[in-house]
Amino acid sequence: KRSIAVMTSGGDAQGMNSVVRAVVRTAIFKNCQPFAIMEGYEGLVRGGPDYITPLKWEDVSGWNAIGGTNIGTARCMKFKEREGRLLGCFHLIQAGIDALIVCGGDGSLTGADLFRAEWPSLVSELLKTKKITQEEAQTYESLNICGVVGSIDNDMCSTDATIGAYSALSRICEAVDYVEATAASHSRAFVIEVMGRHCGWLALMAGISTSADFIFIPEEAVNPGTWRDEMCETISRHRKRNKRTTIVIVAEGALDRDLNPVTANDIYKTLVDRLKLDTRITTLGHVQRGGSAVAYDRVLATLQGVEAVNAVLDSVAGSASPIITVSENKIMRKSLVDSVKLTKSVASAIAAKDFGKVLSLRDPEFIE
Ligand code: ATP
C-alpha cells in the first residue's frame, strides 16, 4: 500500500483545505494511505507523528467550507539548506512515504522540485551514515512530487487561476461595496490597497468588478511625470457626470516606469491636493485571505487534488515534477520547473523595465 503525503506551504489561501480533503479521499479511494505534513516544510524538517500524521476519510469531513489551512503553513528557512532537506528525507522514509503533494506558491514549488532532484543523493547520505538500511534505500530510491498552486495573487504563469485567487477577489469586492456606501454618503474618495507584490491580477479584476475609477498594477507601470494628471483628469470627468464616489485601487507592488513604488499615500496626497477630495485610505490586508473559499475555488481545488494523486501514482521514478493547472477550463499537468521559471522571468522583466514583455510572458499558452 503506497503512502502519499500532502502539505500546504507559503502564504495561506482559501481552498487549501479542499485540496487536502480531495487528496486524502482520492488516496484512500485508490487504496493508498494519506498523510498530512503539518506546518509546511517545518513539519518535514521536524518529523515524527505530531508533524507527519496519517489522515482518515472522516478527518477531512466538512473541510470544503473552512477557510485557511487546517494542517498549517509556515515559512521554513531550514528547508532552504541541504541539512534541512536531509532531515526531511529521513522523516519521510521513517514514515514510509515516497510521494508528496505540495500546495503553495512558486517558492514552495521550487523547494519541492529541488527536494525531488536531490532525493537520491540524500538517500545515499542517509545510507552512508547508517540512518537507513540498504533495503530502505532501495525501497525509497526516488520521490514523486506534484505541485498544486495555492496563492491568492493568481501569480503563477501557465495556469489560468491559482487556488484562492477568486475567493480573495470576492473578499475585495465585498469590502469595496461596503466602502462605496460610506463614500456615496459623504461624497468621498477611497484609495484601496490590495495584495499583489509582483502581480496585479487582484487589483485589476477588483477594479473591473467594482467599476473603480483608476487602477494601479505592477505590470502596467505608469509614467512618473504624467500619472497624477491622467488620474485627476479621469476622476474629474467622472465627478462632472455627478458621480459621488471615487474608488482608486492600488496593488501593493504598483510601480512607475522608473520603478518607484506608487503608494496609496502618493495617490491620497494627489487627490487631496489637486482635487480637494475628502479622501480615505483603506488597506485591506489580511481580510483578503479571510473567510471560506468561493465555490469556484472549492471546485478547482477538488479537481486539482484528485489529479495530483493521479499524477504521483502515474509518475515514473526520477522524472521531472508536474504541477496541476487549469487552462481553458481543463485540468492539466504541466512542467513545474518551466512554470516557475516563466513566473520568475516576469519579475525579471519588471525589474528590467521591459513592460511589454511582462504581459506576453503571463500568457498561459506559453507553457504546454
Ligand atoms: P507565496 O506566494 O504565498 O509567497 P511561496 O510558496 O512562494 O508562497 P515562499 O515563502 O517563497 O512562499 O516559500 C515557502 C517555503 O518554501 C519557504 O519558507 C521554504 O521552506 C521553501 N522554499 C522556498 N524556496 C525554496 C528553495 N529555493 N529551496 C528550498 N526550499 C524553498
Give the pLDDT confidence of 201-211 residue by residue, as tens digits. Answer: 999 999 999 99
Nearest alpha carbon, ligand 1 atom 2: 105
Provide the pLDDT for residue 340: 85
Cα-to-centroid distance, 128 and ligand 1 (Å): 29
For residues 116 and 311, the answer to whether their CB atoms sit within 8 Å is: no
| Residue (of 165, 166, 142, 145) closest to 155 by Cα position | 165
Q: What ligand 1 atom has the least distance to the C-alpha of 75?
A: 18
Residue 367 has pLDDT above 50, yes or no: no
Residue 159 CB less than 6 A away from ligand 1:
no
- The residues that bridge with 330 in the sheet, in sequence order, are 327
Q: Which ipTM score applies to this complex? A: 0.88
Provide the pLDDT for residue 345: 82
For cell 501569480, what's the residue? Answer: 155
Residue 105 CB less than 6 A away from ligand 1:
yes
The DSSP letter of residue 286 is G
Residue 344 CB less than 6 A away from ligand 1:
no
Nearest alpha carbon, ligand 1 atom 12: 10
Position 351 confidence tier, pLDDT thresholds 50, 70, 90: confident
Q: What ligand 1 atom has the least distance to the C-alpha of 155?
A: 2
Mean pLDDT, range 186-200, rounded to an integer: 93
Provide the pLDDT for residue 59: 98
Residue 124 has pLDDT above 90, yes or no: yes
Cα-to-centroid distance, 335 and ligand 1 (Å): 18
Residue 162 CB less than 6 A away from ligand 1:
no
As a whole number, the mean pLDDT across the chain is: 93
- For the entire predicted model, the pTM comes to 0.93
Cα-to-centroid distance, 237 and ligand 1 (Å): 45
Number of continuous H segments (helices) and E segments (strands) in the chain: 12, 11
Cα-to-centroid distance, 74 and ligand 1 (Å): 9
d(CA 220, CA 265): 19
Cα-to-centroid distance, 111 and ligand 1 (Å): 6
Provide the pLDDT for residue 233: 97
Catalytic residue, chosen from 98, 153, 155, 266, is 153
Q: How many CA atoms lie within 13 A of 252 on its CB side?
A: 12
Nearest alpha carbon, ligand 1 atom 21: 108
| Residue (of 173, 157, 151) closest to 219 by Cα position | 157
- Helix (H) or strand (E) holding 33, with range, is strand 33-37
Does the active-site annotation cover 12? no
Provide the pLDDT for residue 361: 65
